[in-house]
Amino acid sequence: MADYDMVIAGAGIIGVSCALWARMRGLRVLLADPNPPGSGTSSGNACTLATYACLPVNDPSVLRSLPSLMLSGDSPLGVSYAHALKNPRWMLAFLANCRAAPSARIAGHLAALMEQADDGIDPLIEAAGAQDLVEARGQLNIWSTAAGAAAAEAGLQRRRALGVAWREVSPREAQAMEPGLKLPIQRAVHFHQARHLRNPQALIARMHQRFSDLGGSSVTAPVEAVQAGQDRVTVTVDGQRLSADHAVIAAGAYSGRIPGAGTADLPLGTERGYHLMFQGEAHRVTRPVGWAEGGFYAVPHADGLRLAGTVEIAGLDAPVNRQRLDYLARRGAEMLGPLPAPSSEWLGRRPTMPDSLPVLGRSARSPRLLYAFGHQHVGLTLGGLTGRLIADLAQGRDPGLDLAPFAASRRYA
């Protein structure tokens, strides 16, 4: 039976970051995924190393505006009622966490991760020789209504109290920073410490290449089962049984579907999001611009303009919802003026626990099972740190961060 220090299920930003950190530390690692590295949710996102994003979607304002968000045909939130009725556990726990006290507690835990996020990803960017893929122009957030601008104040102050730096920008300055914006700007804020990637999948491909160059092993096949014993974990990949010191479950929104991983009963849900690409239109913005009322971002990707975002609660296996794509096209034109037909479209599945915190750490089932999933809206940002934490745990090092809030066995509401 082939023998490894670590076998990783999933080669998204999380799995590849775990693989590269562990291999740089000298561990013998096998990375398994049926799909190419970084081709899942990690490929199509809004490209931002969003260290400012410590406020969870679980916010008291969601409870106040839920009826209008759900009933409006022109909303950044879409909910399949059939899915919600079949999966009340996730939905109810998610809503319970929108109350002020849990929301504030979650923000504190996310802020603790964000503080270390750059230190997690930067060594990987350097190791992969991918500095050319990183742009440091910050992120601009804009509000187009007076009500939205006023309502943003509490959240901005909460971020500041949690150590996030931002700068108020006048509408005129925002327009000068991003002349392509066609909205009436009521308020604008520049998160100047945020960075973005010109192409997230290219970064992950280079990280994976570096992992291979360092002697890491990969297989294009799913992890079919894991079985944790006292001394080793047996991992079945493509019908073959492998032995490892540790198995890492980093299969994003699919992490609950690996038999024996102890994840099936965890309340892992998915917040689906969409993007549209417009080849040749990247010049429309010079940095990621988030339009708060629209619920999406305009991003200058290496392959063109990307409009990415929105949230749809409909489950992992539901087909693409064309209304969500039409919403992005329509509101994208409102934001940036007329756009050509999109060159491609995409549906991604954010892995989301009902408290918007990732699951990081050892399984209660066995200390040889390490969990690294549930990174919801900020997996690209937290991937590098997650990889470092998982390598620490595998080596028996102190991760230097209290992982209790991220334990799989925590209370979710």
Ligand X SMILES: Cc1cc2nc3c(=O)[nH]c(=O)nc-3n(C[C@H](O)[C@H](O)[C@H](O)COP(=O)(O)OP(=O)(O)OC[C@H]3O[C@@H](n4cnc5c(N)ncnc54)[C@H](O)[C@@H]3O)c2cc1C
Residue 48 in the binding site for ligand X (CB under 6 A): yes
Q: Is 314 in the site for ligand X (CB under 6 A)?
A: no
Q: Is 56 a residue that touches ligand X (CB under 6 A)?
A: no
The least CB distance from residue 150 to ligand X, in Å, is 26
- Contact between 15 and ligand X by CB under 6 A: the answer reads yes
Q: Which stretch binds ligand X (CB under 6 A): 3-11, 94-102, 361-369, 399-407?
A: 3-11
Q: Which residue has the tokens 């076998």?
A: 7
3-state secondary structure string, the chain?
Answer: CCEEEEEEECCCHHHHHHHHHHHHCCCCEEEECCCCCCCCCCCCCCCEECCCCCCCCCCHHHHHHHHHHHHCCCCCEEECHHHHHHCHHHHHHHHHCCCHHHHHHHHHHHHHHHHHHHHHHHHHHHHCCCHHHEECCCEEEEECCHHHHHHHHHHHHHHHHCCCCCEEECHHHHHHHCCCCCCCCCEEEEECCCEEECCHHHHHHHHHHHHHHCCCEEECCCEEEEEECCCCEEEEECCEEEEEEEEEECCHHHHHHCCCCCCCCCCCEEEEEEEEEECCCHHHCCCCEEECCCCEEEEEECCEEEEEEEEEECCCCCCCCHHHHHHHHHHHHHHHCCCCCCCEEEEEEEEECCCCCCEEEECCCCCCEEEEECCHHHHHHHHHHHHHHHHHHHHCCCCCCCCHHHCCCCCCC
Nearer to ligand X, 232 or 272 (CB): 272
The only residue of 269, 379, 384, 387 in contact with ligand X, by rule CB under 6 A: 379
| Residue 46 in contact with ligand X, rule: CB under 6 A | yes
Q: Is 13 a residue that touches ligand X (CB under 6 A)?
A: yes
Distance CA 124, CA 384 (A): 7
Nearer to ligand X, 188 or 253 (CB): 253
Determine the interface stretch with ligand X among 102-110, 321-329, 371-379, 401-409 (rule: CB under 6 A). Answer: 371-379
Q: Looking at beta carbons only, is 106 or 186 nearer to ligand X?
A: 106
Stretch that binds ligand X, among 67-75, 206-214, 361-369, 372-380 (CB under 6 A): 372-380
Q: Among residues 308 and 394, whose Cβ is nearest to ligand X?
A: 308
- C-beta of 11: minimal distance to ligand X in Å? 5
Does residue 375 belong to the site contacting ligand X (CB under 6 A)? yes
Answer yes or no whether residue 40 interacts with ligand X by CB under 6 A: yes
Q: Does 223 bind ligand X (CB under 6 A)?
A: yes
Residue 32 structure tokens: 């398994």
Q: What are phi and psi of 318, to 5 degrees?
A: -65, 145
Shortest gap between Cβ of 100 and ligand X (angstroms)?
25
> Which of 56, 252, 290, 342 forms a contact with ligand X (CB under 6 A)?
252
Q: Based on CB atoms, which residue is closest to ligand X, 103 or 255?
A: 255
Span from 61-69, 244-252, 318-326, 360-368 in contact with ligand X (CB under 6 A): 244-252
State which of positions 255-294 bind ligand X (CB under 6 A). 258, 273, 275
Q: Which one, 186 or 349, has the nearer CB to ligand X? A: 349
Q: Does 378 bind ligand X (CB under 6 A)?
A: yes
- For ligand X, the binding residue among 30, 41, 54, 256 (CB under 6 A) is 41
CB 48 within 8 A of CB 381: yes
Show the tokens assigned to 58: 């679980």
Instruction: Please give the C-alpha separations between residue 158 and each of 55, 56, 197, in angstroms, as whole numbers.
Output: 8, 12, 26
Least distance between ligand X and beta carbon 380 (Å) = 3
For ligand X, give the closer residue by CB, 228 or 251: 251
The residue (of 224 and 245) whose beta carbon lies closer to ligand X is 224
Q: Which is nearer to ligand X, 97 or 376 (CB)?
A: 376
CA-to-CA distance for 354 and 93, rounded, in angstroms?
6
Between 8 and 185, whose beta carbon lies closer to ligand X?
Answer: 8
Binding site for ligand X (CB under 6 A): 9-15, 32-35, 39-42, 45-48, 50, 222-223, 250-252, 254, 258, 273, 275, 308-309, 348, 350-351, 373, 375-381
